[in-house]
């Protein structure tokens, strides 16, 4: 699988298009076991905030937040595809939906590690 240093990603309908700078290829591809990711099922890879540019359709993205309201999950309003989210585990990164990357088959990455999002340290209450 070829990952370009600068790679495009699109939602299903093409209303949202991202340009990703990935100098090290796919970084930390993983699934997460938190309630949101478990239902979504996507493989996510990491990019720094400054390495994600919305080329098209920013006004077509909708934001979803839950629980700690830290992570910011973005979806296309038209087709409903999850494109990316700002991570709560590292707010200086976006996680991008690997399945949205042009020319990339996420099934070629299997098996993918699973991150324990159920027991996320930011969910702990410090007394």
Kindly report the CATH number assigned to the domain that includes residue 10: 2.170.150.70
Is residue 24 domain-resident?
Answer: yes
- Could you tell me the pLDDT band of residue 126, with boundaries at 50, 70 and 90? very low
Q: Give the range of the structural domain holding residue 95, as residue numbers without chain letter.
A: 6-115
Quick check: 13 and 107 in contact, CB under 8 A?
no
Is residue 125 domain-resident?
Answer: no
The pLDDT of residue 99 is above 90: yes
For residue 32, give the nearest of 80, 97, 92, 78 by alpha carbon: 97
Is residue 51 domain-resident?
Answer: yes
Please report the pLDDT score of residue 38 as a whole number.
Answer: 86
Percent of the chain with pLDDT over 90: 61
Task: Give me the chain's average pLDDT, please.
Answer: 89
Report pTM. Answer: 0.86
- Tokens at 17, concatenated: 């298009």
Residues 7 and 25: their CA atoms lie apart, in Å, by 9
Is residue 38 domain-resident?
Answer: yes
Full DSSP string of 89-126? S-TTEEEEEGGGBTT--GGGG-S-EEE--TT-GGGPPP
Residues 103 and 99: their CA atoms lie apart, in Å, by 9
| Total domains, the chain | 1
- 2 vs 24, higher pLDDT: 24
């Amino acid at each position: 699988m070829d990952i370009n240093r600068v790679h495009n990603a699109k939602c299903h309908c093409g209303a949202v298009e991202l340009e990703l700078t990935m100098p090290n290829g796919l970084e930390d591809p993983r699934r997460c076991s938190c309630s949101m990711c478990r239902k979504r099922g996507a493989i996510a890879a990491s990019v720094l905030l400054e390495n994600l540019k919305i080329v098209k359709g920013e006004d077509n993205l909708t934001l979803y937040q839950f629980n700690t309201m830290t992570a910011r999950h973005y979806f296309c309003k038209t087709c409903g595809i999850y494109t990316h989210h700002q991570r709560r585990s590292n707010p200086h990164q976006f996680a991008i939906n690997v399945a949205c990357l042009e020319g990339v088959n996420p099934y070629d990455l299997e098996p993918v590690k699973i991150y324990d999002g159920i027991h996320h340290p930011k969910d702990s209450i410090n007394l």
